[in-house]
């Protein structure tokens, strides 16, 4: 979902302070909620936030607030996190770096020492090196940033930075010295929405070349990626596919770009890491239309993908390449729409029966020890079009690739940046964005011990997600990548199922067998009174087939 701002006439900003204008503009972009942790350098702005209609969601850690804002942005179109200077800002860097890598538009708002406090360069608390240190750090991991230190340019800078977040779908940074929050600029400021347009000639020429390639093909395929999510282009891609009957595959980062029960959907393309049937179908294609796809190592199965550039149309928001021709000034949405407008007519490609959607045939063996693959098979019976699945890194992600998502943009994972600890705070962000949807988080025990206490915030707000903690006593993926009895992959075990008692809300379940998992999932699914934590004991050697294929490829390098 993307949000377009409204135009703001100059008279509407008269008498408005810098802080008030920032809040107004965030709301113009459809922001309803904001995550963060207060601190003295940002308390003035926090007070203003609380007086506004924005909902402030206080988190336990700044990096958790960043993960929550990231997940919220993926579902809402824009997210925001508000923290204090350096101790807060530098703590949120990792989650914002992930948002940059995976094109998630998060607005980072940080307070800072007042300009009047900086005279003679005093050693103020939280300061690192000099007063610009934090700004310079965020310049490396954001698409745009600003310090609102000049009343004459503050409104214009807010517009510039927020517009960049929405246009490029990447995080941005806004720093507010605390003595600037209530300053009312004595300037008129009309806001006019930027008018981003493609070069019409370049769009036409590129679309003509792409259509000729498609029409001359016998086995075309569309590979849809993460930018289709971010720019809200699912309908456009689906319309193109349905009009032409071209099958669709998705990358790992683009999973759930369309509903995975659609008759044209053939599965995830992950090179040698993926299902052999999907890999063969894609690589046998004589015309590969890659839309909004980033060629990352994980997306492409540790670079085992075998795609001939001479057969590819590669279109993202940042570049457009057809064969070896590069086109500039072409927006991704315009290119897709122009392709559809030309009504390509390739021969209809038959999708093999092995790639057609079929409900998973799961028959429970009640007393059998639970395995991750059997757990996913049972989950496949449960998920529906109101389910959001959030997968952490490791086999939580790789096993969950086998889930069949019933609606679009309902699968969330940091599948490129791969930062452990994403899932629980991301669950908070998803629940804030979609409070009525059923959210399921799948998290390894190692990742859970990093950020799992954000469940405290989930309990505080009365949300009812289902959190599945996979307990195999440590870092299972690394065990697979580097065979041997390495102690550094071990972690101390927790009684995860008892955490609801510690946190004062929710229900815990202890699970060792398929029957226990079935009973717990069934009960948790119907329980909206609070969160459910399913503590699933797995054998230390248990792993999914996708992880096994990944390990076979990556173990050569580690």
Tell me what the pLDDT averaged over the chain comes to: 90
> Is residue 122 assigned to a domain?
yes
How far apart, in whole angstroms, are the C-alpha atoms of residue 298 and residue 280?
Answer: 18
Q: Is pLDDT above 50 for 1?
A: no
Cα separation, 477 vs 491, in Å, equals 13
* Structural domain boundaries enclosing 267: 200-355
Where is the domain boundary, 355, 389, 411?
Answer: 355
Give 235's contacts (C-beta < 8 A, 6+ positions apart).
none
Residue 254 lies in a domain: yes
SS3 readout for 234-274: HHHHHHHHHHHCCCEEECCCCCCCCCCCCCCEEEECCHHHC
457 shares a domain with 424? yes
CB neighbour list of residue 544: distance below 8 Å, 6 or more residues apart: 372, 373, 376, 395, 398, 399, 402
Domain co-membership, 528 together with 379? yes
166 with 217, same domain: the answer is no
The pLDDT of residue 303: 42
In a domain, 364, yes or no: no
- My answer on whether 499 and 542 are in the same domain is yes
Residue 191 located in a structural domain:
no
Query: Helices (H) and strands (E) in the chain — how many of each?
Result: 20, 19
- If residue 202 lies in a helix (H) or strand (E), which one and from where to where? helix 200-215
User: What are the structure tokens assigned to 438, written together?
Assistant: 């059923």
Does the residue 188 lie in any domain? Answer: no
Is the pLDDT assigned to residue 14 strictly greater than 80? no
- Between CA 107 and CA 82 the distance in angstroms is 8
Whether residues 298 and 268 share a domain: the answer is yes
Lowest mean pLDDT among 80-84, 126-130, 466-470: 126-130
Q: Domain holding 314: CATH number?
A: 3.40.50.1220
Whether 345 and 444 map to the same domain: the answer is no
Mean pLDDT, residues 214-243 taken together: 95
* 166 shares its domain with 254: no
Do residues 205 and 329 both lie within one domain?
Answer: yes
Instruction: Give the whole-angstrom CA distance, residue 446 versus residue 284.
Output: 39
Domain boundary among 116, 142, 177: 177
Instruction: Please give the structure tokens belonging to residue 307.
Output: 């795609």
Contact between 451 and 421 (Cβ < 8 Å): yes
Same domain, 255 and 165: no
- Kindly give, in sequence order, each residue whose CB lies less than 8 Å from that of residue 184, ignoring residues fewer than 6 positions away: 15, 16, 17, 18, 151
Residues 37 and 152 in one domain: yes
Asked if 172 and 204 sit in the same domain, the reply is: no
229 lies in the same domain as 351: yes
Statement: residue 307 has pLDDT above 80: no
Sheet containing 466-471, strands listed edge to edge, beginning at the edge strand earlier in sequence: 411-412, 387-391, 438-444, 466-471, 532-537, 507-511
CATH number at residue 402: 3.40.50.970
Of the chain, the end-to-end C-alpha distance in Å amounts to: 39
Whether residue 187 is contained in a domain is answered as no
For the stretch 339-380, pLDDT in tens is 999 999 999 999 999 999 888 888 999 999 999 999 999 999
Question: pLDDT tens across 232-270, in order?
Answer: 999 999 999 999 999 999 998 899 999 999 999 999 998
Does residue 551 fall inside a structural domain?
no
- The number of beta carbons lying within 10 Å of the beta carbon of residue 60 is 18
Q: How many domains does the chain have?
A: 3
Question: Contact, 423 vs 396, CB < 8 A?
Answer: yes
Which pLDDT score is estimated for 153?
Answer: 95
At 6, the pLDDT band (50, 70, 90 cuts) reads low
Beta-bridge partner residues of 248 = 222, 265
Q: Write the pLDDT tens digit of every residue in 309-324.
A: 788 899 999 999 998 8
Q: Quick check: is 363 in a domain?
A: no
Out of 142, 177, 212, a domain closes at: 177
The three-state secondary structure class of 215 is: helix
Cβ neighbours around 234 below 10 Å, total: 18
Q: Given CA atoms 121, 124, 128, 131 in this order, what sign does their dihedral have?
A: negative
Provide the 8-state DSSP code for 330.
-
Residue 121 is predicted with a pLDDT of 81
User: Any idea how long the chain is?
Assistant: 558
Binning pLDDT at 50, 70 and 90, where does residue 289 land? very high
């Amino acid at each position: 979902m993307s949000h377009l701002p409204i135009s703001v006439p100059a008279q509407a900003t008269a008498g408005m302070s810098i802080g008030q204008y920032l809040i107004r503009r965030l709301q113009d972009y459809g922001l309803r909620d904001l995550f963060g942790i207060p601190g003295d350098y940002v308390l003035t702005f926090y007070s203003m936030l609380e007086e506004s209609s924005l909902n402030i969601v206080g988190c336990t850690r700044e990096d958790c607030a960043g993960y929550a804002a990231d997940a919220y942005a993926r579902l809402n179109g824009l997210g925001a996190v508000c923290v204090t200077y350096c101790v807060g800002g530098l703590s949120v860097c990792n989650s914002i770096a992930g948002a940059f890598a995976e094109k998630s538009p998060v607005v980072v708002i940080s307070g800072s020492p007042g300009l009047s406090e900086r005279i003679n360069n005093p050693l103020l608390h939280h300061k690192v090196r000099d007063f610009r240190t934090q700004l310079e750090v965020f310049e490396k991991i954001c698409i745009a940033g600003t310090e609102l230190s000049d009343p004459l340019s503050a409104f214009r800078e807010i517009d510039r930075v927020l517009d960049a977040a929405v246009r490029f779908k990447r995080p941005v940074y806004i720093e507010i010295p605390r003595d600037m929050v209530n300053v009312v600029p004595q300037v008129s400021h009309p806001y006019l929405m930027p008018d981003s347009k493609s070069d019409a000639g370049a769009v036409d020429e590129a679309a003509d070349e792409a259509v000729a390639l498609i029409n001359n093909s016998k086995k075309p395929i569309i590979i849809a990626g993460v930018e289709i999510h971010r720019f809200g282009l699912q309908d456009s891609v689906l319309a193109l596919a349905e009009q032409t009957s071209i099958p669709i595959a998705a990358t790992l980062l683009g999973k759930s770009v369309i509903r995975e029960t659609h008759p044209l959907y053939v599965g995830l393309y992950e090179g040698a890491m993926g299902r052999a049937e999907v890999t063969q179908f894609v690589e046998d294609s004589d015309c590969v239309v890659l839309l909004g796809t980033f060629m990352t190592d994980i997306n492409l199965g540790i670079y085992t993908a075998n795609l001939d550039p001479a057969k590819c149309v590669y279109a993202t928001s940042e570049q457009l390449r057809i064969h070896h021709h590069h086109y500039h000034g072409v927006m991704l949405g315009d290119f897709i729409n122009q392709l559809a407008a030309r009504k390509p007519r390739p021969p209809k490609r038959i999708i093999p029966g092995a790639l057609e959607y079929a409900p998973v045939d799961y028959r429970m063996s009640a007393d059998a020890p639970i395995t991750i693959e059997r757990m996913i098979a049972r989950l496949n019976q449960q998920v529906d079009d109101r389910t959001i699945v959030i997968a952490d890194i490791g086999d939580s992600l790789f096993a969950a690739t086998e889930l069949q998502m019933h609606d679009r943009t309902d699968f969330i994972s940091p599948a490129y940046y791969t930062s452990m600890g994403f899932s629980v705070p991301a669950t908070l962000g998803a629940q804030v964005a979609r409070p009525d949807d059923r959210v399921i988080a799948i998290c390894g025990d190692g990742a859970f011990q990093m950020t799992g206490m954000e469940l405290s915030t989930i309990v505080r707000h009365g949300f009812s997600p289902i959190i599945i903690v996979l307990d195999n006593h440590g870092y299972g993926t690394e065990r697979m990548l580097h065979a041997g009895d390495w102690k550094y992959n071990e972690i101390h075990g927790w009684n995860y199922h008892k955490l609801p008692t510690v946190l004062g809300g929710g229900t815990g379940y202890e699970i060792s067998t398929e029957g226990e998992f079935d009973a717990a999932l069934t009960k948790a699914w119907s329980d909206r009174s609070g969160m459910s934590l399913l503590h699933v004991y797995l054998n230390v050697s248990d792993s999914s087939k996708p992880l096994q294929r990944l390990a076979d490829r990556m173990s050569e390098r580690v």
